[in-house]
Structures are given as C-alpha cells and as structure tokens.
Structure 1
Amino acid sequence: MKNTVILFFMGGILFGLAGFALAVDERPVQVVRVTPIKEQARAEIQELDQMTRRFEHFAVQKVKDLNRLHHLSRSRMQITQQADGAYHGLYHQIDESSLTVNVRRSSSRTVPFVGVLSYRENIFEATAETQKQLKECDFNLVQVVPNRHLFSYSKGHWQ
C-alpha cells in the first residue's frame, strides 16, 4: 500500500511536470536581437561625428553671414569727426580662425543635439585726416570680445 501511494504520488508529479512542459512549449517564441554594446556605441559615435560635421558647416556659414550683415562691419564702419577735424573710424570683424564648435547629445526627445559656437569678435580703430584716407588706412586692433552662441538641432536642421 505504501508503495502504491508513493507510485501514485510520483506519477502525479510527473504528469504535472509533463503538462507544464507542454504548456511552455505551446507559447510562441519571441526572438529579440540585442545590439552589442560596442556596436551600439560605435553607431552613436558615428552619428555624433556626422552631427559635428554638419554643425561645423552651419557654423562657418553663420559666421560669414554675421560678418557680412554686422551693422558695424568695415563697409558700414562708424565714422565720427573729431574736434580737430580728423576722422575716427571703428568697425567690428569676427575672426574666422578663432571659430570653435562643440556638439553634444541632449536628453530631450525633440532636440537630440545641442551645438555651441564660439568665436572672437575683433574691434578695430583708426584716425585719418580725411574720410577717404580713413577708409584706406590700416586699422589697429583695440579690443577682442569673446562670443558664444547655443544652437539646437531640431526637425532635421540646426537652428
């Protein structure tokens, strides 16, 4: 009798495990591709490099436009006549060789990248006896103003 109970008990356990195994096998199998960390990091670095190149192109064009449109550019310099009759000229010019850019990822979903554009704006002055001489003379650098602008990458372009 004791053997029968043990056999019956063991049979129940085996039958239960077999049913569990069948239930597990009946579920559809989902295959999930996990990107290795190195591959994912490489893709992120390549994307950041691409955004940096795009931002560099954007920044160079932006500085050219700022130089061209500045209200005190060399072609629109501020000229004042001094008490002694001489003319004093002043103009601003962005030093394109001082241009630096930095692009970083953002935690925002709508703005995935942020770019920082830095440059130096030079202020030049000169004095001459006539306005014509003033426009043709050499100007002296009198001040350097550091500038920094923040831009965001949104909807496929820098703004």
Structure 2
Amino acid sequence: MKLVRNLIPSFFICMLLCTAASASQPGTPDELQVFQNFAFGWVVKLNKNHIKGFSHMEVLLQKDGKYLARYHAISPDTIACKVKKTSAKSKGMVGLLKYIETIYESTGISPQEACANKFKPVKNIRITEIFSNSGKGWR
C-alpha cells in the first residue's frame, strides 16, 4: 500500500511533464500522447504483475541468520516515450518506452520484520521496450 501511495503522485507529475513535452514536439503530438497513455498503462500492469514485484516479494534467509526482503518496482517518473514513423509504405509506427526498474531491499531478524522495515533502493536497471502500431493499436 505504501508503494501505491508513493507511485500515484509520481504518476500524475509524470503525466503533466510528458503532456507538456508532447505538445512541444512537432509532427506527432497526438500519436505521442496515445503512446504515452498506452505506456503508462503498461507500466502499471508491469508493477502489478511483476513476478518479483511488491505483491510477490522475495524473503531470503541470509548466512548471518537475518532475513532479506526484496522487490522490484518501476517509478512512473522514470518513463520516457518516443514515437517514430516506419519507412514502410503502410502507416506504421514504432514506439520506444524507456524506464528504470529499481530493486528495493530491507532486512530484519524475522521475515515479518524484513517486510515491515524501511526498504532502500539498491540497484537501478535501465530498460527499453519497443512496441509497434500498424493501425490496430500498440502491441
């Protein structure tokens, strides 16, 4: 629940920034805005269903007898979107979605304490995903 409360303000700030950025790009502001909406929805799904996400947190017993709790999350304020037209004769487009997935960890003397303690970011992973749209929506 704490993660959701932290992500919601970031999501809205990012939406405002990306909307301003899309308005300043010539040529395809509507296409970019549609892709950005798709991308934000995609990231929400990733956070919800990630096999190592907050709801599927790993808890590992360490050699020293303490427990390590770990999960992955994507902050919406790390999202960057770009749309390019393809060179194909049909009206195809390619969308690039870049974001940073962060790994958070916490320790404790029991699994419950490890999950309840404050989590700290320990690693950032840069990810780029490529989507296509040939007139039937982004996939």
- Common topology (TM > 0.5): yes
The answer as to 2:88 corresponding to 1:108 is yes
Is the contact made by 1:111 and 1:152 (CA closer than 8 Å) also made in structure 2?
Answer: no
CA contact (8 A) 1:124 1:139 kept: yes
For the residue of structure 2 that corresponds to 1:88, the secondary structure is strand
- Deviation for aligned residue 1:90: 1.2
User: In angstroms, what is the RMSD of aligned CA positions?
Assistant: 1.5
Superposed structure 1 runs of 4+ greater than 4 Å apart: none
Stretches of structure 2 that go unaligned for 5 or more consecutive residues are: 1-25
Counterpart code for 1:93? A
Equivalent positions of 1:119-130 (< 5 A) are 119-130=99-110
What letter corresponds to residue 87 of structure 1 in structure 2?
Y
Partner residue in 2 for 1:50: 30
Q: 1:158 is paired with a residue of what secondary structure?
A: coil
Q: TM-score, normalised by structure 2?
A: 0.77
Structure of greater Rg: 1
Structure 1, residues 110-137: CA drift from partner, whole Å, max 9, x if none? 4521110000000111110111111111
Residue of structure 2 equivalent to 1:140? 120
1:135-155: CA deviations, max 9, x gaps? 111111110000000111123
Q: Secondary structure at the match of 2:52?
A: coil
Tell which has more relative contact order, 1 or 2 (C-alpha 8 A, sep 6+): 2
Q: How many residues align?
A: 114
Q: TM-score, normalised by structure 1?
A: 0.67
Counterpart of 1:92, as a letter, is H
Structure-2 residue corresponding to 1:86: 66
Deviations 1:32-68 (A, max 9, x none): xxxxxxxxxxxx92xx211111000000000000011
SS at structure 2 position matched to 1:54: helix
